[in-house]
Amino acid sequence: MKILIADDDRMSRQLLMKTLEREGYEVIAVDNGLLALQQLSLPDGPRLALLDWMMPGLDGAGVCSEVRKQHDRPYIHIVLVTSKREKQDIVAGLEAGADDYLTKPWDPAELTARLRVGQRILQLEDRLVEARETMRFKATHDPLTSLLNRGVIVDLLARELTRTRREDGCTVTMLGDIDHFKSVNDGYGHVVGDEVLREVARRLLSSVRSYDFVGRYGGEEFLIVLNNCSSAQADVRAEEVRNGIAKHPVQTSRGPLPITMSLGVFASKDWNLDQVEETLAKVDSALYRAKADGRNCVRRAAPNTSQDPLRQLIK
């Protein structure tokens, strides 16, 4: 584990380095507080630090105070090394952001024991962060496909539509439905159906840009939101998505299965809609037309066409 030593006394610094290297630490040593702060601010910087209280440039307590202002990186366990023994000095150091203190002359056994305590605290913090991120992921993602869940993708669409209206841009929305998916479940079982859903999700993600959004809308339906995509490019992008599904069979535990997808497409620039519900209704109607027109195709929601899916289906 990386550890930072900051001490302007060369002999003290070398003694600390040798002691900690024997304990298996990867030691980074600096001789002033400003360099210490620089090291601790790096994305992959040390998460354990031994800081001498009295240093040029910025003292140990000052380094603690500056580090605690950084909220965008993992926690750093800081031990102040000081010759000060008065309670008010120790309290001042702890209130500045230090987690522990060690008085000079320090004992090697006490030093390593205190650092082991610091490591345990960091490990606990990491587990808590991991648990929090796991809970956040489960709350925002579909458990089968790992795509965004319906609530999140619809909320992101609403935000994008608001931003698009404000900036006079264009957001393209696609609603895709796997063709004849019921026959996959009925003929091969739900395990194979799940394999198809996961592979379709993977292909959808690979068919869009890293800053676009893909979510599982429900069952075998998927909602795709393309940011800053022109109306002229909407059909081209939708065909790329459709072809990404259809061009290769899905490899399953029961063998390769040809899978296709029908897509409805909506470009916000073509409409003057204020509600995400209206957008979803229009793109859903376009999807129904794609299904009615033979599946494995793309249909655009256009202002001058009827959007009644039942009327389209009985043509």
- For the annotated catalytic residues, the residue numbers are 220
How many whole angstroms separate alpha carbon 177 and alpha carbon 221?
4
DSSP state of 296: S
How many whole angstroms separate alpha carbon 150 and alpha carbon 65?
43
- The residues pairing with 267 across neighbouring beta strands, listed in sequence order, are 172
How many whole angstroms separate alpha carbon 191 and alpha carbon 252?
9
* 75 phi and psi angles, rounded to 5 deg: -65, 145
Cross-sheet strand order for the sheet of 213-218:
213-218, 221-226, 172-178, 261-267, 298-300
Return the residue matching tokens 């399953």.
Answer: 252
- 17 and 9 Cβ atoms separated by less than 8 Å: no
Please report, as a single letter, which amino acid is at residue 264.
G
Q: Which residues contact 59 (CB under 8 A, 6 or more apart)?
A: 33, 53
**Beta 100-103 vs 77-82: how paired, if at all?**
parallel
* 170 phi and psi angles, rounded to 5 deg: -145, 130
DSSP output for 206-246: HHS-TTSEEEEEETTEEEEEETT--GGGHHHHHHHHHHHHH
- 298 and 285 Cβ atoms separated by less than 8 Å: no
